[in-house]
Amino acid sequence: MVTQNISGLKNFFIFNPTLSTKEGEELQKILYYYPICDNTEVQIKNVGLVEGIIQFTDTFKPTSSASSLHTNKTRQLYFQPEKNYWMVMTLRLNQISKERNATGDAEELEDDIQDNVYEAMLKQAYYMYRLFWGTFQSVKDLSTLKMNIEIFYRTYLQSLKLPQADILNVFCGIQYLPLDKQTFLKVQCFVNLLESTFPIVPHTAFFYNEHLIWSGVEPSDMQVIYQYLSTSVFPANLETETQGSSRNSSSTLSALQRGRFIIGPSNLKLAKTVGKIPKVYLFGGSGTSELYFVIYKMSGASVCLFIKGDYELTVDFFKELNEFMNFNLVSVVSSITEYSSREVVTPCSETSPRFIYFNKLNLALKSTVHSDIKPSAAIKDSVKIIADINSLIPFLGSTGESIVKTMNDYWVIGKTSNSREFYIALQQKNASLIDISEEVSKLCETELKGIFFHSA
């Protein structure tokens, strides 16, 4: 079994080399540096080293800058999100004992740190910041920019789960909930009625049990919003509901089942002001737009409303919106719940195949690799192999297939075609390539219902 080799985040910093070109003023180019316990000399030294590495590697690869640096003790990732702005994340690797090192396991553990996984996490750190604060270049005052970055990353870096990162961080996909035509039409009619009744709501997203059903937001923006919801908002709300249920109060349970704002005024009966409503920046479509972000929840449904940022929100507006939701949303939620209850979900056993499906066009993700509370070592190894196969896609072309057989009789298959990727991990002893191909075709048919490709 391959052991996770990351012990934590060594440092994280953002800098702009054009902010200072004079000797003795190097600190001015640093916009943010973590950890704060590193003195200024250490910060200047680390930033200067990265700047030198980037300039040096640009000499040999002018079309794209270096993306990572490997050492025995660290792994450093680089990302240039905007012109002249660089983000750097350094991972601290676990120390390898002399006994293990003597056996030659050092190289194996070093390979356990997959660049594509942590490069994706570094990029996600920028896109999440941009969602709430806009681009770096949009803030002209340098002190304001530094303050915005410090406020955001002070909390965000604490939420990173580096040792648990895997191939799903690379995809950052969206889990959709497929519905029958009639039920989906009810959702679409509800959204159309909502946006026509409230013209200040140009975009809406409709979720049910954390799965997306409808979105009027560009996929690239929805991808970031979905990651925020699935990692922060939905888990926090679930914890609140669980605590409410554990108190076994009928009034509390009734309040949780009724429609309410989980981002917005929490108590409209007592509210005198709307409070602080967050804003988000969307970059798809014709240009950048700044919008209020509000979420209304009823039972398993969550409706995300993107409200024009120049509109003055009032308590009366939210009361009117709440009344509309309570009157029109009930039947829609009921239909979705009824349809979902008829869908049979087969639980994964320990020997069941694990798969990941990802569509680059609509960012749809379907996965069973995390279906186990405590996945086996073989499954963990298979997920790492999937990440390795994914990193080879640029070299394999848009259509291809890779097959890997592990020492513990697991077969890991990666298939790509028409901007779709499908990865399977299954355990088959004494199986041939023909046997594995037949198993993959069966899995495509049962799980993807013909949306992928098959052998003729």
User: For every one of its 456 residues, what pLDDT tens digit does the chain have, with 9 covering 90 and above?
Assistant: 344 477 789 999 999 999 988 888 889 999 999 999 999 999 999 999 999 999 888 887 767 778 899 988 899 999 999 999 999 999 998 865 444 454 444 444 455 688 999 999 999 999 999 999 999 999 999 999 999 999 999 999 999 999 889 999 999 999 999 999 999 999 999 999 999 999 999 999 999 999 999 999 999 999 999 999 999 999 988 877 766 555 555 544 454 457 899 999 988 888 888 999 999 999 987 789 999 999 999 999 999 999 999 999 999 999 999 999 999 999 999 999 999 988 766 666 667 889 999 999 999 999 998 877 677 888 888 999 999 999 988 877 778 889 999 888 889 999 888 889 999 999 888 888 888 888 888 888 887 765 655 443
**How many Å apart are CA 97 and CA 273, to the nearest integer?**
60
Residue type, 5: N
Q: Which fold has domain 181-342?
A: Beta-Lactamase (3.30.450)
pLDDT of res. 134: 97
**How many Å apart are CA 354 and CA 346, to the nearest integer?**
13
Q: How far is CA 306 from the centre of its chain?
A: 20
The token duo for 214 is: 């409808």
49: enclosing H helix or E strand: helix 40-58
**Domain at 6-162: CATH architecture:** 2-Layer Sandwich (3.30)
The token duo for 99 is: 């006994």
Half-sphere exposure of 84 (CA within 13 A, CB side): 12
pTM, whole model, 2 decimals?
A: 0.90
pLDDT of res. 451: 63
**How many Å apart are CA 377 and CA 385, to the nearest integer?**
12
62 contacts: CB under 8 Å, gap ≥ 6: none
CA dist list (Å): 395 to 328, 389, 401, 425: 51, 10, 12, 22
Peptide bond into 17 cis (omega under 30): no
Contact assessment for residue 259 and residue 297, using Cβ atoms and an 8 Å cutoff: yes
78-81 contacts: CB < 8 A, separation 24 or more? 78/50, 78/54, 79/119, 79/122, 79/123, 79/126, 81/123, 81/126, 81/130, 81/136
Q: What is the DSSP letter of 97?
A: P
**How many Å apart are CA 62 and CA 64, to the nearest integer?**
6
Residue type, 404: V
pLDDT of res. 242: 64
pLDDT of res. 120: 96
68-70, strands of its sheet edge to edge: 30-34, 6-15, 85-93, 74-82, 68-70
CA dist list (Å): 447 to 397, 399, 419: 25, 21, 18
pLDDT of res. 243: 62
Contact assessment for residue 355 and residue 368, using Cβ atoms and an 8 Å cutoff: yes
354-447 belongs to CATH 3.30.450: yes
pLDDT of res. 137: 96
Domain regions of the chain by residue span: 6-162, 181-342, 354-447
Would the CATH topology of 6-162 be identical to that of 181-342?
yes
Residue type, 349: S
Residue written as tokens 């349970």? 253
Phi, psi of 49 (to 5 degrees): -65, -45
